[in-house]
Structures are given as structure tokens and as C-alpha cells.
A and B are shown apart, each in its own frame.
Chain A
Amino acid sequence: DAGVTQSPTHLIKTRGQQVTLRCSPKSGHDTVSWYQQALGQGPQFIFQYYEEEERQRGNFPDRFSGHQFPNYSSELNVNALLLGDSALYLCASSLGGTELPSSTDTQYFGPGTRLTVL
């Protein structure tokens, strides 16, 4: 049973460039959430995709956008990169469609993509 996978593992970009990160959810999961983790901080919620639509969004600018495909995989795009975008980007998958907490709302994280902006 494949877990959450992310690609690439590492990425180096320069300011102003654009980047696309990819995530495949755990088998049987239909919801993908993206988080940004800066050094020494806890992960910060960027947005969540369910049924190919953005369901919730955190406090991130429009430079951060995403997409979910029919096979539930997802992409995170960041435009006009800033030095402050350097972080570990984590993808988490879960079973969606519930408003109340349940045993299915546990999120499982992929290994992350470490982005360095120079």
C-alpha cells in the first residue's frame, strides 16, 4: 500500500522564478492538503483540495495556487518566488467529505519537497 509520495525531493530556484511541486495521495484517499514548514516552525496550512476544488485556504498570497486531478493527485504552484518561500513543502492526504471529526480525518504526510530560493 503506497503512502503519500512527493516530487521532487529537493529544488533550488532563484527569486522571481516559478515552481511546481507534485503529490500523490495515499491509496484510497481523496483529499490533499498542502503545508509550508519554515525552519524551526510548525507546518502552516496553505490550502486543501477535495473533488478537484479548493475547499479551504490558509493565509497565503495568490502567488500560491494549486490543482487536483481526477486521480486525486495534486500540484502546488508558486509564482514570483521570494527568498522567504524557502521551506519544506509538505503534502498530506486524507479521506474527505466529512464535516465532523472521525477516524477518517487523520492526515498522512509525504516526505516533502525542500525548496531553496536564492
Chain B
Amino acid sequence: RKEVEQDPGPFNVPEGATVAFNCTYSNSASQSFFWYRQDCRKEPKLLMSVYSSGNEDGRFTAQLNRASQYISLLIRDSKLSDSATYLCVVNHPGGGNKLTFGTGTQLKVEL
């Protein structure tokens, strides 16, 4: 079983739609959770950190369910510029801040 699993997509949605991505992680001791965004052939960029019960930043909402070991990302009112790959990232426990990435979910927002 992979440490972090995501549906690779692609998710093709019309502009203005609401889209949700889920991610599961296998290590129950994981303590930090993030969503990174990666544009084609570019570096990952931090979208949101998720530390406790989740958080919201404008059109983006991230939720954490420790009991079920999954985190989610909700994007409301999708924009063309939201088209990218969204990487679910978990901080490996035990110190040293090693990040474990999922394979990413590709989102394509269309007119």
C-alpha cells in the first residue's frame, strides 16, 4: 500500500464548478498535512497547510479526518487558472521533516 494515495484524475470540470479531491495516508502517526499545487514542468508550490480540523483560504477548503486517515481539498467557483496537478503531502513522523507525496490529481478547468 502506498503511503499517500490519490486519484490521479484527470478531473475535467467547467469554469465555476465545485470540485473535491480526496487523499488517504497510511501512517497514523503522521502529524502535518499539506496540499501543494504543481503546474506543468514547474516546482510544487504550497497551496495550504492542514494542521488540525482543517482550514479555509478563499475558494479553497482543506479538511483532515484523522480517524479515517484522509484529507480533502475543496475548490469552489473553479477558475481556468486552477488547472494544475494537486499534490497531497504528509509529513513523515519522527522528526527531520521528511515529506511524502502522493502522485497528484490533475485538474483541468474548461470554458
How extensive is the interface on chain A, given as a class?
20 to 34
Select A106's contact among B43, B46, B98, B102, beta carbons within 8 Å: B46
Whether B51 pairs with A33 at a CB distance below 8 angstroms is no
Question: Across the interface, which residues of B come within 8 angstroms of A43, CB to CB?
Answer: 44, 87, 99, 101
- Interface residue tally for chain B (C-beta within 8 Å): 25
Q: Mark B64-99, 1 if CB is under 8 A from A, else 0.
A: 000000000000000000000001000110011111
Determine whether A48 belongs to the interface, using a CB cutoff of 8 Å to chain B: yes
Whether A109 pairs with B32 at a CB distance below 8 angstroms is no
Which A residues lie at the B interface, using CB under 8 A?
Answer: 31, 33, 35, 40-45, 48, 50, 55-56, 58, 88, 90, 92, 94, 96, 98-101, 103, 105-112, 114
Which B residues lie at the A interface, using CB under 8 A?
Answer: 4, 31-32, 34, 41-46, 49, 51, 87, 91-92, 95-104
